[in-house]
Amino acid sequence: MPGGHRDILIAGAGATGLTAALELVRRGHRPRIIDSDEGPVPMVESRALGINARTLTLLSPSRVSDVVLQDAYRIDRFRARSGGKLLFELDPGRVTGQFPAIQMLAQGQTERLLLSKLSDYEVVPEWQTVLERVENAGGKPHVVLRRPDGSAEELTPDILIGADGAHSAVRKGAGLGFPGQALEESFYIADFRYPAPIDPHYVEIDLFNPGMIGRLPVSSDTVRYLSTLSDFEKRIRHPVAGGQAVWVSNFRIHFRHVERMSSGNIFLAGDAAHIHSPAGARGMNLGIEDACWLAYLISEGREQEYSGLRLPAVETVLKQTYGLTSLVTMRNPVVTGLRNALMPIAVRIPFVADRLLRGIAGYDTPPPPWIDGAK
């Protein structure tokens, strides 16, 4: 049943859920979107940073890409160092197209831009609304919600979209497994704010034997440091003196994805369907890509094709991020020495460099057929 006459419930008002709502509403649907949190990601917690060219292409029909370009910081250089020596430098400008290969913008700001555009259509998330139960007995899913005042609501939407994160209640209610593995290493994050401007236009990684420290710009005065070393803050090469940590976190990396991204009229998108390393800045971008494809297919009455179309893209990205993560988590000093010797040679090969940059730009997954000229 194409068209805007279906009852659609979206669980999760992060970047993936908000994009699904926006793409549906601009196609004539009136989705309902709920989230258990009080609001979008706090601005002090930068979380997902990278916005790639594929995402900007996908968000161009809604004009969200226009406001992202105004606020984000374009990455002009990727560098890798070891022992203070520059191993290689890559220019993302080699990836041609309408949009830069990758830009940096804190996830909280990205979500607020999506919320602002969604409000133009008079769609507002229902915050502090918990999805307590999902039953998937065939036909329409049956859902129980808990409102902020403690009252319960039961409903049977035509379509349920789970964009509710790695611990997805929708996925569990649909009976979909989440197989995969976790890496042994813990990863550490610290966002440092500086009293003077810093260069926000490059990403850099320092490789140690073993371990790494990555440098990613958050804004014109804030840098994220990502490391496998618990004492990494002592090793940071600060761009200016006087920096203060404004957000710290740590986590273990999992590589998991569902074997099917749908069950009946329940559909999964973003972290509810797949999680992986932040290497390559693909997580939020892949979720936004899921949301756009699902909204398109729902509008075409082809939503049952969603899992078959999306899983190959998910598998491509997980394979890429696993490879990149393996490169920076090596422990054997002989192997890390060999890596440091071979990496500069490999990235001088045009095919290797171009393939790496196309992945960072998000151009290694199928282009959206509803956008003319999309790469």
Structural domain boundaries in the chain:
8-361
Cα–Cα distance between 207 and 370 in angstroms, integer? 42
pTM (two decimals):
0.96
Q: In what order do the strands lie in the sheet with 142-146?
A: 130-135, 142-146, 152-155
Kindly give the pairing relationship between strand 244-257 and strand 180-193: antiparallel
Q: Would you state the pLDDT for residue 4?
A: 55
Contact (CB, 8 A) for 147 and 251: no
Beta-sheet strands, E only, within the chain: 8-11, 32-34, 50-52, 73-74, 77-82, 85-90, 102-104, 130-135, 142-146, 152-155, 159-162, 180-193, 202-207, 212-217, 222-227, 244-257, 262-263, 266-268, 274-275
Query: What is the tens place of the pLDDT at every residue in 94-149?
Result: 999 999 999 999 999 999 999 999 999 999 999 999 999 999 876 799 999 999 99
Cα–Cα distance between 47 and 107 in angstroms, integer? 6
DSSP 183-239: EEEEEEEEEEE-SS----SEEEEEE-SS-EEEEEE-SSSEEEEEES-TTGGGT---S
Query: What is the tens place of the pLDDT at every residue in 49-78?
Result: 999 999 999 999 999 999 999 999 999 999
Q: Would you state the pLDDT for residue 333?
A: 87
Q: Is the dihedral of CA 260, 265, 268, 269 positive or negative?
A: positive
Query: What is the tens place of the pLDDT at every residue in 270-326?
Result: 999 999 998 888 999 999 999 999 999 999 999 999 999 999 999 999 999 999 999
Q: Would you state the pLDDT for residue 250?
A: 93
Task: Provide the β-strand partners of residue 266.
Answer: 160, 263
Interval 204-214 mean pLDDT? 92
Percent of the chain at pLDDT above 90?
A: 87
Q: Would you state the pLDDT for residue 2?
A: 47
- How many CB atoms are closer than 10 A to CB 252? 10
Which of 3.40.50.720, 3.40.920.10, 3.50.50.60, 3.30.2310.20 is the CATH number of 8-361?
3.50.50.60
Phi, psi at 205, each rounded to 5°:
-130, 130
